[in-house]
């Protein structure tokens, strides 16, 4: 069990006025999950940087956003701090800064992770922030940090008390991640903090690694995205880009083709298809889009594919108080995300064989 100040002789030079010793998370003995191309990219980008010219402009711009990325470790430090340099801040009127740019803290291992506190980001307009949080005791505990949903992390330092222990966390319950592909909702808009986005809720419930490929207005169902997803070994795939298709006709031109690219590469991969939860474009248009997605599902089942599931998006918010589930009649708030997770959870359990 290495002490933080023994891991590298240079760390002692990083002690600040708070008395914490700081270490670069990217090279520290911690687990960084949610970055399939981390070793190749050598950064916190979610997509393979070498293929940037093939992505649409939105995917290129949003790839640095660390939605779904988690940093986990064990420590007995009574305090932990972070110092974060972001590639850019993303201040939006309908989403808290502590969600778009901040980091929240969970304590516990396996399926017993509980929210503790948030590292606050202040509205100072800079590309750097730092904060310290104190625990109630110096007992050994597992910590999970959920990284920002809508800002790119360029560098993140983790601060622990001198002489404290730093260890790797307990393993996930699944060897391979669950991947989510879709729109701004899939990226986490508009949770109050990163841990409340539906993919992070599901990750805690079933203890799996998240790979998030949600891109605001940019999950268009292009073949290059299907090929990238198909190249990642997965435990399950949540397929949800209804919102970003301009129309049911456009969705029809891409949805089944996208599914077939992934299915050809991973014949036994459980795939869950979702339609959108709102009716912003009217009930008739919403139903037409849902019919396209259901047809992809129905055709796969007709061919003997027993590894596909369909979730009607109109069930995601429930039947009561649906108006309480969003911040703008479109993007979920914490209530909306929690209800989404509750509907998806039993389907995902079945898909994973639980």
Q: Tens of pLDDT along 127-165?
A: 899 999 999 899 999 999 999 999 999 999 999 999 999
| For range 249-270, the mean pLDDT | 98
| For range 155-180, the mean pLDDT | 97
Return the beta strands (E) in the chain as ranges.
20-24, 31-33, 70-75, 79-88, 103-107, 114-119, 128-134, 141-146, 152-161, 166-167, 178-182, 210-214, 236-240, 271-274, 308-311
| For range 292-310, the mean pLDDT | 98
Half-sphere exposure (Cβ direction) of 218: Cα atoms closer than 13 Å: 16
> What is the DSSP code (8-state) at residue 170?
P
* pLDDT computed for residue 282 by the predictor: 87
Distance CA(332)–CA(186), nearest Å, equals 10
* pLDDT computed for residue 279 by the predictor: 83
* pLDDT computed for residue 12 by the predictor: 44
Distance CA(194)–CA(66), nearest Å, equals 10
As a whole-number percent, the residues of the chain with pLDDT over 70 amount to 94
Instruction: Reply yes or no on whether the pLDDT at 220 is more than 70.
Output: yes
| For range 94-120, the mean pLDDT | 93
Instruction: Reply yes or no on whether the pLDDT at 11 is more than 60.
Output: no
Q: Which residues make beta-bridge pairs with 71?
A: 32, 145
Q: Is 30 exposed, middle or buried (0-12, 13-18, 19+ CB in 10 A)?
A: buried
Place of tokens 């307990």: 170
| For range 320-338, the mean pLDDT | 94
Tell me the whole-structure pTM to 2 decimals.
Answer: 0.94
CA 188 to chain centre: 7
Categorize the per-residue pLDDT at 17 as very low, low, confident or very high, splitting at 50, 70 and 90. Answer: low
Distance CA(213)–CA(239), nearest Å, equals 10
């Amino acid at each position: 069990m290495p002490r933080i100040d023994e891991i590298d002789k240079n760390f002692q030079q990083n002690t600040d006025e708070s008395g914490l010793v700081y270490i670069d998370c990217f090279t520290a003995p911690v687990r960084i999950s949610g970055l399939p191309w981390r070793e190749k990219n050598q950064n916190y980008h979610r997509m393979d940087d070498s293929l940037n010219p093939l992505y649409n402009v939105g995917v290129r711009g949003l790839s640095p956003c660390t939605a779904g990325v988690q940093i986990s470790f064990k420590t007995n430090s009574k305090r932990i701090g972070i110092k974060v340099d972001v590639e850019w801040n993303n201040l939006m009127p309908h989403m808290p800064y502590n969600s778009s740019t901040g980091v929240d803290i969970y304590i516990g291992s396996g399926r017993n992770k509980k929210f503790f506190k948030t590292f606050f980001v202040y509205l100072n307009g800079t590309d750097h922030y730092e904060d310290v949080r104190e625990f109630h005791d110096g007992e050994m505990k597992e910590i999970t940090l959920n990284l920002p949903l809508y800002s790119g992390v360029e560098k993140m330092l983790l601060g622990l008390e001198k002489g404290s222990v730093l260890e790797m966390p307990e393993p996930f319950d699944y060897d391979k991640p669950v991947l989510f592909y879709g729109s701004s909702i899939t990226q986490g808009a508009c949770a109050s903090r990163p841990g409340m986005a539906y993919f992070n809720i599901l990750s805690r419930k079933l203890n799996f690694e998240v790979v998030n490929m949600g891109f605001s207005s940019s999950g268009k169902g292009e073949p290059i995205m299907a090929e990238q997803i198909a190249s990642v070994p997965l435990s399950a795939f949540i397929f949800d880009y209804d919102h970003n298709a301009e129309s049911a006709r456009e969705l029809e031109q891409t949805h089944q083709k996208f599914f077939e690219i992934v299915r050809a590469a991973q014949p036994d991969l459980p795939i869950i298809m979702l339609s959108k939860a709102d009716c912003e474009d009217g009930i008739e248009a919403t139903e037409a889009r849902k019919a396209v997605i259901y047809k992809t599902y129905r055709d796969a089942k007709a061919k003997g594919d027993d590894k596909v599931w369909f979730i009607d998006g109109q069930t995601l918010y429930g039947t009561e108080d649906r108006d309480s589930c969003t911040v703008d009649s479109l993007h979920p708030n914490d209530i909306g995300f929690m209800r989404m997770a509750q509907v998806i959870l039993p389907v995902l359990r079945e898909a994973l064989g639980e």
